[in-house]
Each structure stands twice: as structure tokens, then as C-alpha cells.
């Protein structure tokens, strides 16, 4: 199980929670778990979000999620 921190604007899609627990060993499973538990998150996730795992942006959907990792969904940021 991993705990995923949502930004507070996503609470409305997650039964008022800002921290959601899902069964997942990888980012791909984490996204699938989030959407299965809270379908309202699907458009937001599909529109593109970044994921911080232990303070580092992780882009590999197959990367294993370390036990007890700090996971944040944050808005996608690129820059100039």
C-alpha cells in the first residue's frame, strides 16, 4: 500500500481526502488504483500530472515505489 498526497483542489474527486491509500507497487498501478477508487480523478490524471517520489519527479510508470515513499501528485510544470 502507498499513500498518495493530492493537491487540495482534487479533494472533491476523492471523497474529501487529500491523502489517498492505494495498493500499488509501481506508478502505473498507483494511477490505476487512484482511478478505480475515485473515477473523478481520471480526467485530471489523463490531462497530465507530475509525480514526486521522495522529492524526485518520477517519470517511469514501471518504476517500483519504495516502501513508505513520500508520493505527491503535483501539477505538470515545464518552463521556458
* Residues at the site binding other proteins, with contacts judged by CB under 8 A: 5, 7-9, 43, 52, 54-60, 70, 72, 74-75, 77-80
Judged by CB, which is closer to other proteins: 25, or 58? 58
Contact 51, 79 (CB under 8 A): no
State the minimum distance, in angstroms, from the CB of residue 50 to other proteins: 9
Judged by CB, which is closer to other proteins: 26, or 52? 52
Residues 4-14 as b/e (b if ≥16 CB within 10 A, e otherwise) read bbbeeebeebb
Amino acid at each position: 500500500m502507498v499513500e498518495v498526497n493530492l493537491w487540495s483542489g482534487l479533494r472533491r474527486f476523492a471523497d474529501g481526502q487529500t491523502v489517498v491509500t492505494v495498493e500499488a507497487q509501481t506508478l502505473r498501478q498507483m494511477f490505476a488504483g487512484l482511478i478505480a477508487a475515485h473515477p473523478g480523478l481520471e480526467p485530471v490524471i489523463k490531462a497530465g500530472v507530475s509525480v514526486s517520489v521522495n522529492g524526485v519527479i518520477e517519470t517511469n510508470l514501471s518504476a517500483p515505489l519504495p516502501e513508505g515513499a513520500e508520493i505527491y501528485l503535483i501539477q505538470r510544470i515545464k518552463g521556458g
